[in-house]
Structure 1
Amino acid sequence: MSARRGSGPTMHDVGRLAEVSAMTVSRVLKNDPGVSESTRERVFAAVDRLGYRRNQTARSLRLGGSGMIGLVVTNLANPFYSRLALGVQEVATEYGFRMLLSNSAEQADREPALIDGLVDHQVEGLIVVPAGSRQQHLAGAMRHVPVVLAARPPAGLDTDCVLVEDFHGAREATACLLADGHTRIAFLGNPPALYTGAERLRGFWAAHEEVGVEPDHDLIRQGLVDAAAAERATLDLLARADRPAALFCTNNRISQGAIRALYKAGTTLPLAGFDDFDLADVLGLPLTVVSYDADEIGRQAARLLIDRLAHHDGVPPASRRVTVPTRVVRHGVPDGADGPDGATPEA
């Protein structure tokens, strides 16, 4: 067995000699406790025989390819996607890959061209946050490279994805408002065609059903695409004679628009929202935020993709779904207020 000329032995070479995948070699070299002792011994014997140097990292997973993976997000201006990209880059760098980043600007019709462009640049795999529910173009890309979806699930595709606990987080945050005695809660949401918008509305509704309260349909606003739209919708709600007693927002931009509207109206309402954001703890507002590790979404997506690349010449793994957990954090709520499952105030 010989390595590629001028490159030295690779992790793939070690795996072939040890009769394991390159990913297993990586796990052994990282002292992963989940690897059996017999496998560990075979890998180290192959390392010694080939003279493999661990500081060559997992560059070998590229197996002679471009060494690039593509990432497509929907709004790079949103801190969520910036953190997701950093998570992807962290794992990509660890395994010797470079990342090419594209931004669809939430325009589903732009996404196919971005995907085609990355494939034309010979990326070895793609991580995509779909801008819409139509994903046929991704099926075409999957004939050339593996594709992993992030933040939104596949629609008619057999591929891996990494999601957030959208339903659970929305249900828990809404339940906190209900437990505080607020029964007229407005819902400010992103487009309902988006998975996150639909799941978070479902969680909002479930929290009401669990306590026997019927949400007011007149207080539900959907299709809000940015902070400005959320601000206008909130001002409209505040102008009603029967205005809401609290607000639930489905992402950080909508929360920020709602907060700006409250400031302009010179009023304060309890607000719950998905996505933590900078300075949430010092605004002096009664805020309940659904927090999670956006970097971890990117890290998990990159690991799934690299694992698929490691199986490129063998039987690929079955499609997998990884869910990143959420937790409720409360800022500026009254003393004694407490949410479900022991969610405690953080003032």
Structure 2
Amino acid sequence: MTGQRTVAETARPSEPRYGNRPTMKDVAARAGVGLKTVSRVVNGEPGVTPDTERRVQEAIEALGFRRNDSARVLRKGRTASIGLVLEDLADPFYGPLSRAVEEVARAHGALLINGSSAEDPDREQELALALCARRVDGLIVIPAGDDHRYLEPEIKAGIATVFVDRPAGRIDADTILSDSYGGAREGVAHLIAHGHRRIGFIGDRPRIHTATERLRGYHAAMADAGTAVHDSWVSLGSTEPGRVRAAVERMVSGPEPVTALFAGNNRVTVTAVRVLAEQERRIALVGFDDIELADLLGITVVAQDAAAVGRTAAEHLFRRLDGADHPPVRVQLPTALVPRGSGELPPA
């Protein structure tokens, strides 16, 4: 019919036809630039003036263009994604760690996919291999198990792998740790410096590397002070509140109760604070890991820099992805004693 035009006929030449995804050619036509210029902007490459980059970005937003990562994978053999296997997504320690990893990944144009092993070695293996099956370029793993030979074929196939918080079991790989031994030794020495000799230690399961390292630091500080450790002063096991509560109550009661406690991680500290608040006698406390509101509650802690741990791990991972082929490294980051009052109480 004369005078009528279809939707396709009235579309601007620089816009994609109705129902089709916009392409780089569409963006180039709308912005009035070459295809290579659009590619440089999309992939964050140098060589584009600010004014040109602005025009390209405006065209991208107007057209709703999205990069075709499937084509990118075929072209470069990389998926621009990495996997992070955590112990427990609900643990406050892993929040800043995960965020730091994500920030580094984003700066490298990569997507982060994470999951929780729930401290189950089988679940850790299942998650790690599932991420490998989805062709992530690299893995960051907080180990739950002590045998990581299952990852050897994946590493040989080119999947960069970094272990965090605990070393890998039975393989050599890049490892980023906090100084659990030194931090615990300093925290217990702090209690000793304030007059305590009967100091209890409540930690995580003995199969966990950080738990054994912190226990080792406790024993070293006590030995430095010439103080023998009674078996009743040490309790390792689940961080479940009921188990920790029973351990604290047992240590602070009896004919020779402890006058101070060293809590082996943030979950132990939270329960210990609750139990100690119920006691008539004031018990000194130092916890490993900071906890929310610790500054307001006056809780002395040995603080880890979780963000620095995550950032360092991610940076090592991307260096491997960029071709670094040096032998596996082991990086140990320092902790910091933060006195706030609970660790400075004298023996009662």
Give the TM-score range, shorter chain.
Answer: 0.7 to 0.9
Question: Which position in structure 2 is the counterpart of 1:238?
Answer: 252
**Which string of whole-angstrom CA distances, capped at 9 and with x for unpartnered residues, describes residues 266-302 of structure 1?**
4431011110111112225xx4310121011110010
Instruction: Work out the percentage of aligned pairs sharing the same amino acid.
Output: 36
Asked if structure 2 preserves the Cα contact closer than 8 Å seen for 1:10 and 1:52, the reply is no
Once the two structures are TM-superposed, the CA of residue 190 in structure 1 deviates from its matched residue by: 0.6
Which protein is bigger by CA-based radius of gyration? 2
The answer to whether the 8 Å contact 2:285/2:343 transfers is no
- Tell me how many residue pairs correspond in the alignment: 292
For 1:329, give the aligned amino acid: V
Tell me if the contact between 2:201 and 2:263 (Cα under 8 Å) persists in the aligned partners.
yes
1:294: which partner in 2? 306
Query: What are the ranges of 5 or more consecutive residues in structure 2 without an aligned counterpart?
Result: 1-34, 57-68
Equivalent positions of 1:1-347 (< 5 A) are 7-8=39-40, 51=47, 63-144=76-157, 145-284=159-298, 287-311=299-323, 316-332=325-341
User: How far off its partner does 1:108 sit?
Assistant: 1.3
1-structure distance, mates of 2:303, 2:124: 28
Amino acid of the structure 1 residue aligned with 2:256: D
Q: Secondary structure at the match of 1:126?
A: strand
Q: Provide the rounded CA distance (Å) in 2 between the counterparts of 1:5 and 1:71.
A: 34
Q: Please give the root-mean-square deviation of Cα atoms over the aligned residues, in Å.
A: 3.0
- Residue 131 of structure 1 deviates from its aligned partner by 0.7
Provide the rounded CA distance (Å) in 2 between the counterparts of 1:81 and 1:131. 14
For residue 247 of structure 1, give the secondary structure of its aligned residue in structure 2. strand
Aligned amino acid, residue 309 of structure 1 = L
Cα separation, 1, equivalents of 2:101 and 2:126? 22
Which residue is 2:60 aligned to? none
**CA 1:154–1:53 in 2, change beyond 3 Å: closer, same or farther?**
farther
Q: TM-score, normalised by structure 2?
A: 0.76
Mark the runs of 5 or more structure 1 residues left unpaired by the alignment.
15-46, 338-347
Whether the 8 Å contact between 2:101 and 2:310 is mirrored in structure 1 is yes
What is the DSSP-based 3-state SS (H/G/I as helix, E as strand, rest coil) of the residue aligned with 1:161?
Answer: strand
CA distance in 2, matches of 1:270, 1:227: 19
Are residues 53 and 102 of structure 1, via their aligned partners in 2, closer, same or farther at CA, if it must alter by over 3 Å?
A: farther
2:86·2:117 contact (CA, 8 Å) conserved in 1?
yes
Counterpart CA distance in 2 for 1:156 and 1:238 is: 40
- The 1:242/1:273 distance shift into structure 2, 3 A limit, reads same
Task: Tell me the distance in 1 between the aligned counterparts of 2:154 and 2:342.
Answer: 48
Q: Kindly provide the CA deviation profile for residues 99-134 of structure 1, in whole angstroms up to 9, marking residues without a partner as x.
A: 001100111121111111101111100000001222
Shift of 1:53: 7.9
Once residues 326 and 298 of structure 1 are traced to their aligned partners in structure 2, the CA distance between those partners, rounded to angstroms, is 14
| Cα offset, 1:236, TM superposition | 2.3
Partner of 1:37: none
